[in-house]
Structure 1
């Protein structure tokens, strides 16, 4: 039985496909242009993003004080000072105990190197002192040959630190002004926009603000969980500086991937130089288990509930953000995905006819969102 295709329907289908393809291409071009502009203005956008995230973290206390009759400027100033004191206290809680035991840690490092040298000289490696000395001499020669590149690296590192300090200072000032004048922003924005935009944009902005608050709180919950579990493991093993290491773990949870690696490296290093290789391996195993649970179980579950995103979407967003923009991309991937979901949900609400309910699939589906 032969089937003939309708030329009219075929041309209509091709026209629709061509129109949809053209529209998608236009959307992709506009997205690329927007990302290019964002990159050109990143020196301003990045402090603004950090300040906005800090504001979501400190706004609940500011709102509490303002509801108690505090003037906006006084409430914002008080919360900003308290934030700086807490941040400085966290740094002191990490730095002071480490500095007080720096001598012991240095002796432990020297002793660890000596033990490693003795182990290398025995079986099965049987590396003699002459070979070790030759290796050190070769390493020294390579360092001397690469002084220029090392200077360039140091200058780049100093520039990065300076940019980080400038970003932090700008973010704190922006946080203060957002805490002080934030509630007046949406009414002002509504007065500046014409027509329906005066309603749509402030509504989406308010929902996005709530979403960012959920993101910061979920990160704090994850960091607290990591700090408690890893700190408990360090305390059981008998590693010194448990409290500073727990605080460092909590703070580093706000920086995906690198933060966890850095905190874990510090904990393993301290365990190695103070307790020996066996305890260091135990600490490494504890950190790996906790980080795997956090990255694959706790964080997707907490963020998916707080942000209204499926756990798989959270994992894919972090992976895509890291591949596109490194550490910053990993940090901003989840809130960016949540904001996109906010915009999409609002647009979908506006497109649905009054009284029309979307059809709900009742059959099991592996990609369906949980109820």
Structure 2
């Protein structure tokens, strides 16, 4: 028979549970306060985030120039000007044609979903339930709005997020200062902090910068490869709107897993509406082949260190970010999750006991003869 509960152990367990619950509530409260403060400061934080992301892309050429004797300000100025020229050329050569064809892209997606509805309502599926029809209508509206939003972000960039030109100019100025004075930041930060914080905070900041840079540069490179190969395949098959679809593929590459599925879905729908089932299946095969190359060849080669995040964590982060902040949240979800992982790994390292070094066995004494 089971014995009666020990009152001392019971009270101790209740006190421990109450203390842990209170501490958890306090942590959640402080997290909510911090998020609220960040939301109030979003007009400043968003240009800062954009500047950091751009700096991760433009820092390698600045570092290369500085190693060859260039002054920090001169190297940062040259790379910033070159970045602006590349950005302007991209707007003229790509964004303008994409903007002119974006209504066709959105209508093509809508027509493709209508084709799928008609096919699903006929044999052999014979789906005619009102709830299914309502769900398809909802998906139709959401995808149409999403395509418009993504094309909008692609065409107008940062300037659509917060007050347009002010945000873009502020982000560019911040990028220049980050490129010029970036290596001085961590030593300066260490001098400003007291005690152990002078070591912990710069260490976490340095690791976070390395992780963020690896993510942004690898995603940009892999997205460019995806856009080139998929765009080339669409051009060979004869699918219209090749340029908008290639740009959409590049942009959505910054949203792992979900972005590739969305861009592939849009490309297949356009091929279905314009060229029929045969070409749609060919486009689907091309996209699957390119995605397999990306997952098995491109990503391991480019992301040598990776983010250390499981695919399920990435998927949940993208879903949560999209539900909280739309497309911006989806774009920033994975980098934020990776930075949280960096912070957690460092805290775990500091709280873990050091692994004891093995003690060498003492040689056995040999008895004297």
TM score, norm. by length of structure 1 = 0.69
Maintained 8 Å contact 2:222/2:294: no
For 2:51, the equivalent position in structure 1 comes to 51
Q: How far off is 1:299 after superposition? A: 10
Matched residue of 2:306: which SS?
Answer: helix
Aligned to 1:320: 320
Q: What is the alpha-carbon distance in structure 1 between the residues aligned to residue 297 and residue 28 of structure 2?
A: 34
CA distance in 2, matches of 1:304, 1:3: 57
Matched with 1:73 is 73
Matched, 1:4 2:4: yes
- Of stretches 259-268 and 335-344 in structure 1, the one that deviates more from structure 2 is 259-268
Cα displacement (A) at 1:345: 1.0
Per the alignment, residue 216 of structure 1 pairs with 216
State the distance in 1 between where 2:316 and 2:164 align.
Answer: 28
Unaligned runs of 5+ in 2: 112-121, 123-155, 358-369
Instruction: Give secondary structure in 2 for the equivalent of 1:32.
Output: helix
How many angstroms apart in 2 are the aligned matches of 1:7 and 1:297? Answer: 58
Residue in structure 2 matched with residue 346 of structure 1 by the alignment: 346
Distance 1:262 1:283 in 2: 15
Alignment deviations for residues 315-354 of structure 1 (CA, whole Å, 9 cap, x no partner):
2211121122221111111111111111111111111223
Match of 2:185 in 1: 185
Report if aligned partners of 2:53, 2:216 keep a CA contact under 8 Å in 1: yes
State the alpha-carbon separation in 2 of the partners of residues 335 and 234 from structure 1: 31
Root mean square deviation, CA, Å: 3.9
Cα contact 2:189–2:202 (8 A) shared by 1: yes
Q: Which residue of 1 aligns with 2:15?
A: 15
Equivalent residue of 2:163, what SS? helix
Aligned mates of 1:294, 1:323 — CA distance in 2: 30
Aligned to 2:116: none
CA distance in structure 2 between the partners assigned to 1:244 and 1:64 by the alignment: 34
- Cα 1:183–1:320 change in 2 (3 A) is same
Q: What is the CA-CA distance between 1:172 and the residue it aligns to?
A: 1.2
Alpha-carbon offset, residue 75 of structure 1: 0.3
Aligned to 1:237: 237
Work out whether residues 303 and 314 of structure 1, in 8 Å CA contact, stay in contact via their aligned partners in 2: no
SS at match of 1:163: coil
2:68, 2:87 → 1: CA distance? 25
Per-residue deviation, residues 152-191 of structure 1 (Å, max 9, x unmatched): xxxxxx9947724332222111111100111111111111
User: Equivalent residue for 1:355?
Assistant: 355
Quick one: distance in 1 between partners of 2:294 and 2:29?
34
Q: Is 1:332 equivalent to 2:343 in the alignment?
A: no
Contact 1:229 1:290 in 2 (8 A): no
Partner of 2:143: none
TM-score under structure 2 length normalisation: 0.70
> For each residue in 1:217-252, what CA deviation from the matched residue of structure 2 results, as whole angstroms up to 9, or x when unmatched?
231133124213311321320246756753553245
| Structure 1 unaligned spans of 5+ | 114-123, 125-157, 358-371
2 CA distance for matches of 1:264 and 1:162?
30
| Alpha-carbon spacing, 1:232–1:163, altered in 2? closer, same or farther (3 Å) | same
Residue of structure 2 in register with 1:310 after alignment:
310
**CA apart distance, 1:52:** 0.3
Are the equivalent residues in 2 in contact too, given 1:318–1:333 (CA < 8 A)?
Answer: yes
* CA 31–56 in structure 1, closer or farther in 2 if over 3 Å, else same: same
